[in-house]
A and B are shown apart, each in its own frame.
Chain A
Amino acid sequence: MTTIDYLWLIPFVPLLGALLLIVAGRSMSRATVAWIGAGSVGLSALFVMGIGVDFLANPGVYEVSLWRWFAVGGLSPSIELRLDALSLIFIFVITFVGFLIHLYSVEFMREDSGYARFFACLNLFVCSMLLLVLAGNLVLLYLGWEGVGLCSYLLIGFWYEEPKNGFAARKAFIITRVGDTAMLIGLFVLFASFNTLDIDAILSNAPSAWEQGSGIATAAALLLLGGAVGKSAQLPLQNWLPDAMAGPTPVSALIHAATMVTAGVYLVARMHVLFELAPIAQTAVGVVGAVTLLMAGFSALTQSDLKRVLAYSTISQIGYMFLALGVGAWSAAIFHFFTHAFFKALLFLGAGVIIEALHHEHNIFRMGGLKNQLPVVFITFLAGAASLAALPLVTSGFYSKDMILWYAWAGEKGSGLLYAAGLLGALVTALYSARLVILTFFGPAKTAVSKLPGWRMTLPLGVLAILSILTGFLEVPHNFWHSQMISGFLSDVLPASIVRPGSEAYEWAIQLLAAVVTLGGLYLGYLAYLARPALHERVREKVAPLHQLMVTGWGFDVLYDVLFVRPVTWLAYVNRADIIDGIYSGIAQLAMAANRALASTQNGVMRWYVFGIVVGAVLIITLGIFV
Chain B
Amino acid sequence: MSAIPIEYGLILAGILFMLGMVSVLIRRNIIFMLISVEIMLNAAGLAFIVAGSKWTQADGQIMFIFILTMAAAEVSVGLALILQIYHQLKTLDTDAANRMKG
Contact = CB atoms under 8 A, between A and B. Distances in A.
Interface stretch (B7-15, B42-50, B91-99): B91-99
A605 B25 contact: no
Contact of A604 (B25, B28, B98): B98
A611 B25 contact: yes
B101 A604 contact: yes
A93 B95 CA distance: 86
B94 A607 contact: yes
Interface string B3-40: 00000000000000000010011101000010000000
A283 B83 CA distance: 96
A602 B99 CA distance: 11
Nearest to B24: A610
B21 A604 contact: no
Contact of B102 (A602, A605, A611): A602
Contact of B100 (A604, A607, A611): A604
A393 interface: no
A607 B98 contact: no
Contacts of A605: 94-95, 98
A623 interface: no
A599 B102 contact: yes
A204 interface: no
* Interface size class, chain B: 10 to 19
B101 A606 contact: no
A126 B14 CA distance: 85
Contacts of B99: 604
A602 B25 CA distance: 17
Nearest to A617: B21
B20 to A, nearest CB: 11
A606 B25 contact: no
A614 interface: yes
A603 B101 contact: yes
Contacts of B98: 603-606
Contacts of B26: 607
Contacts, number: 29
Contacts of A603: 98, 101
* Interface size class, chain A: 10 to 19
Interface in A592-623: 599, 602-607, 610-611, 614
Interface in B64-102: 94-95, 97-102
Contacts of A602: 101-102
Contacts of A614: 21, 25
B31 to A, nearest CB: 13
A606 B97 contact: yes
Contacts of A607: 24-26, 28, 94-95
A610 B28 CA distance: 12
A606 B94 contact: yes
A603 B98 CA distance: 8
A46 B61 CA distance: 92
B95 to A, nearest CB: 6
A604 B97 CA distance: 7
A604 B95 CA distance: 7
B69 to A, nearest CB: 23
B10 to A, nearest CB: 15
A610 B102 CA distance: 18
A599 B99 CA distance: 15
A151 B28 CA distance: 75
A566 B101 CA distance: 56
A536 B25 CA distance: 104
A614 B95 CA distance: 19
A611 B100 CA distance: 19
A604 B101 CA distance: 5
A625 to B, nearest CB: 14
A29 to B, nearest CB: 61
A599 B33 CA distance: 25
A605 B99 CA distance: 10
A404 B28 CA distance: 102
A511 B73 CA distance: 110
Contacts of B21: 614
Nearest to B98: A604
Nearest to B30: A606
Nearest to B21: A614
A602 B101 CA distance: 6
Interface of A: 599, 602-607, 610-611, 614
Interface of B: 21, 24-26, 28, 33, 94-95, 97-102
27 contacts: A599-B102, A602-B101, A602-B102, A603-B98, A603-B101, A604-B97, A604-B98, A604-B99, A604-B101, A605-B94, A605-B95, A605-B98, A606-B33, A606-B94, A606-B95, A606-B97, A606-B98, A607-B24, A607-B25, A607-B26, A607-B28, A607-B94, A607-B95, A610-B24, A610-B25, A611-B25, A614-B25
10 A-B pairs with the lowest CB-CB distances in the bound complex, closest first: A604-B98, A604-B101, A606-B94, A602-B102, A610-B24, A607-B25, A605-B95, A611-B25, A603-B101, A602-B101
Given A603-B98, A606-B97, A614-B21, 16 more contacts: A599-B102, A602-B102, A603-B101, A604-B97, A604-B98, A604-B100, A604-B101, A605-B94, A605-B95, A605-B98, A606-B33, A606-B95, A606-B98, A607-B25, A607-B94, A614-B25
